[in-house]
Chains A and B, each alone.
Chain A
Amino acid sequence: GEDVEQSLFLSVREGDSSVINCTYTDSSSTYLYWYKQEPGAGLQLLTYIFSNMDMKQDQRLTVLLNKKDKHLSLRIADTQTGDSAIYFCADPRYNNNDMRFGAGTRLTVKP
């Protein structure tokens, strides 16, 4: 299978929580990353989590890491229309020079 896998689409109502899931195969990475891409723009680093953590909270964002299952998730609380974008999970692997990205999850927020 692919190194990093994500579902391609997620649609939520404004004000609801969004949960974007990711699975990865390499277990040697020190960090795992979430990037956000708005239409016509580059990737913006959203947040990251150290591999020795289970959870990281940053305002409306919560990252959960299950190392045993190699599963990463990004929860966005109180989702707003401005959160509509493509979200990428990224695994830098063992030396940070072989970053693998998921295909991206397109989040659509409906008013």
Chain B
Amino acid sequence: DAGITQSPRHKVTETGTPVTLRCHQTENHRYMYWYRQDPGHGLRLIHYSYGVKDTDKGEVSDGYSVSRSKTEDFLLTLESATSSQTSVYFCAIRSSGDEQYFGPGTRLTVT
């Protein structure tokens, strides 16, 4: 357990509404990641952060933004949710040994 929590764990929202997902870690790791998991695709990287206020895009960043104002929190925002963003979202941290450890996930449904 790498001390990672995600909130909310489940969310249903309507198309066009903004949504923010939160990832919280307790162990002061520098690197944090947001992935989405879809059947047949495994996990795909959305954005990552390499420090407070330092973020970069991943493979599937369109339609998502992130913010990291504190080491322990990494927020993922969908400015205007679409049905194609229905997915399970996972946050991860990179340990000092370079392995990535994952949170429990947030299941988002956009209707």
Taking Cβ atoms with an 8 Å cutoff, the residues of A that contact B are: 4, 8, 30-31, 33, 35, 41-45, 48, 88, 90, 92, 96-99, 101-104
C-alpha gap A35/B90 in the complex (Å): 14
Pick the contact of B45 from A31, A43, A98 — CB < 8 Å? A98
Q: Is the CB of B99 within 8 A of A45?
A: yes
Q: Is the CB of B41 within 8 A of A103?
A: yes
- Closest residue of A by beta carbon distance from B44: A101
Main secondary structure of the interface of B (DSSP, over half): strand
Identify which of residues 19-34 in chain B touch chain A, using a CB-to-CB cut-off of 8 Å: 31, 33
Q: How far is the CB of A6 from chain B (nearest CB, A)?
A: 8
C-alpha gap A97/B45 in the complex (Å): 9
- The count of A-to-B residue pairs whose CB atoms sit within 8 angstroms is 50
Identify which of residues 75-101 in chain B touch chain A, using a CB-to-CB cut-off of 8 Å: 90, 94, 98-101
C-alpha gap A102/B58 in the complex (Å): 16
Q: Count chain B residues whose beta carbon lies closer than 8 angstroms to a beta carbon of A.
A: 23
23 interchain pairs, CB-CB under 8 A: A4-B42, A30-B98, A31-B98, A33-B100, A35-B102, A41-B104, A41-B105, A42-B102, A42-B103, A42-B104, A43-B43, A45-B101, A48-B99, A88-B43, A92-B100, A96-B98, A97-B33, A97-B56, A99-B33, A99-B45, A101-B43, A103-B40, A104-B42
Q: How far is the CB of B40 from chain A (nearest CB, A)?
A: 5
Q: Which residues of B contact A8 (CB under 8 A)?
A: 40
Q: How far is the CB of B60 from chain A (nearest CB, A)?
A: 12
User: Most chain-A CB neighbours within 10 Å: which of B41, B42, B50, B103?
Assistant: B42
Q: Which residues of A contact B99 (CB under 8 A)?
A: 33, 45, 48
Q: Is the CB of A43 within 8 A of B58?
A: no
Q: Is the CB of B59 within 8 A of A98?
A: yes
Q: How far is the CB of A77 from chain B (nearest CB, A)?
A: 23
- Closest residue of A by beta carbon distance from B2: A45
